[in-house]
Amino acid sequence: MNHLDVYLASRKQKLAYQYALWLLSWDQETETPNDAMQYRSDQIEVLSTLAYEVEMDPKRIEAIDFLALNPETLTEELKVEIKRVKKDLDQLRKIPKQDYIDFQVLLSQAGHIWSNAKKNNDFASYLPTLEKVISYQKKLVKYLSTDTVKGYDVLLDMYEPGMTVVDYDHFFNTLKTDLVPFVMKAAKVKQSLSKKLTKGHFSKDQQIAFNTYLLDVFKYDQNKGVLKQSAHPFTSGVASVDTRITTAYHEDDVRSAIFSTIHEMGHAIYEQQVKPEYDYTELKGGVSMGIHESQSRFYENMIGRSEAFWDTHYDKLVETFPKALKGVSKQAFILYINQVKRDFIRVEADELTYSLHVMVRYEIEKQLFNGKLQAKDLPKVWNKLYKKYLGLTPKTDTEGVLQDIHWAFGSFGYFPTYALGSAISAQIYHRMNQDLNIEQVVKDNEIIKINTWLKEKIHQYGKSIEPKALILQATNEPFNPQYYVNYLKEKYSKILGIEA
């Protein structure tokens, strides 16, 4: 077999193991019986070992190295794929095996330690573990640094290729200058919310019925995916023909399932609209965390929370919840779903304040990796930044520095993509609106036109185009955070009746 044949054969095996492991993971989150957990874990261990052996087969590695140095015989798409695979392989080879194993053992314990610390408001019990995680991440940065990507940029690049501290600083400085003062003004506005919404009861069966209706509204292809229930909503996909979503139902909050479902559909529609021929390659799926989040935020916030959307669908909501929503006006509902409330908890934040929560985490991560901050000082710095950007001081570490599990998993560099995705979505909206009258399309219940535009400009390319190049291609300009600030100010000045 020549080098290309060796690579293609190993890719086929790798994708098969990936699919099997993915199915077991999906099953665990949705319906594995409790007593089957150990049996399932035993099978995962065997499959994971086999998958690792395929990935690290010397013949496969030799083939990748050869093809990377001799790309002239490859198609353009295979050139891109080999470049991506070679980058991942080079990174893996730079990490000493024992360090990698030790870190996996540490992570297997860290989540449990964090969970107990959060439950008991006990940062001190978590600190030694967090220090070890950070120490490993600093070693990882040293192992993976290159002439062009160094320091914290190494971690940022893992989640959003091409994005650096310089890029993120420009983005977050724009928020500090142009958005934080507006948020402080907006937070002072008293919002009178309907008690039927804030104190109501919305049965799970009725929520399921409305969510089923939403699947059709957004044209989520149920031949390629399903909607299930889980403790925390998520999207899980392995190919354009198999991308699944979950949601969670809370009978005291009608918003929760609606917007988590729309959010996850945004992720899933992206995956479903990648070129089907990429399903058998390493180019399948979304290109980065930031681009992925831009799609979920676009559908959830810019469509789902818009007045135009509820002009068309509010009657259906009332029909679904006739008793709970009796006498509740459409405007009262729109105010409720766009409520502005400064909060300590990121995952409960509203659209206007959400990115400021992320900005706090970014500033902390940056200081941890440039040597200006030690882990023991995290609670103090966290509280200081929350006071600075949101005007709030957490009363406990549980509602402060201990609220997220990400750092226990070693996911430094991940948080900024949440805010980046929201900002990219505003730039995409601006560009799309030049081709489509988005408000009218949404009112006419023709969201398929939006899906088609996104497929043509973004989705179909999968991982074949790098994030910055994809933004430039789709919007005709590089990433520009001002669209995001302008969008938020325009939307919330109208809702709250204040000057932007």
Query: How far apart are the C-alpha atoms of 82 and 67, rounded to whole Å?
Result: 7
Is 264 an active-site residue?
Answer: yes
> Residue 143, Cβ neighbours under 10 Å: how many?
15
Q: What letter would DSSP give residue 464?
A: S
Q: Shortest CA distance to 236 belongs to which of 211, 207, 266, 267?
A: 267
Residue ranges of alpha helices (H) inside 33-179 are: 37-55, 58-69, 76-94, 97-120, 123-144, 152-159, 165-178
Q: What letter would DSSP give residue 409?
A: G
Q: What phi, psi does 397 have (nearest 5°)?
A: -70, -25
Q: What is the CA radius of gyration of the chain?
A: 23
Query: How far apart are the C-alpha atoms of 32 and 23, rounded to whole Å?
Result: 11
First vs last Cα of the chain: how many Å apart?
65
Show Cβ contacts of residue 126 under 8 Å, excluding neighbours closer than 6 positions.
Answer: 113, 114, 117, 402, 408
Question: Looking at 242-400, which runs of residues are DSSP E strands?
Answer: 242-247
Catalytic residue among 55, 264, 293, 365: 264
Query: How far apart are the C-alpha atoms of 370 and 355, rounded to whole Å?
Result: 22
CA distances from 194 to 330, 342, 496, 497 (A): 11, 19, 16, 18
Q: What phi, psi does 309 have (nearest 5°)?
A: -65, -45
Show Cβ contacts of residue 336 under 8 Å, excluding neighbours closer than 6 positions.
Answer: 193, 194, 197, 198, 255
Q: Shortest CA distance to 266 belongs to which of 218, 329, 327, 224?
A: 218
Query: How far apart are the C-alpha atoms of 196 and 454, rounded to whole Å?
Result: 37
Dihedral (Cα; 337, 340, 343, 349), 10-degree rounding: 50
**In terms of DSSP bridges, do strands 227-229 and 242-247 run parallel, antiparallel, or are they unpaired?**
parallel
Show Cβ contacts of residue 317 under 8 Å, excluding neighbours closer than 6 positions.
Answer: 210, 310, 325, 333
Query: How far apart are the C-alpha atoms of 141 and 139, rounded to whole Å?
Result: 5
Which residues are known catalytic residues? 264
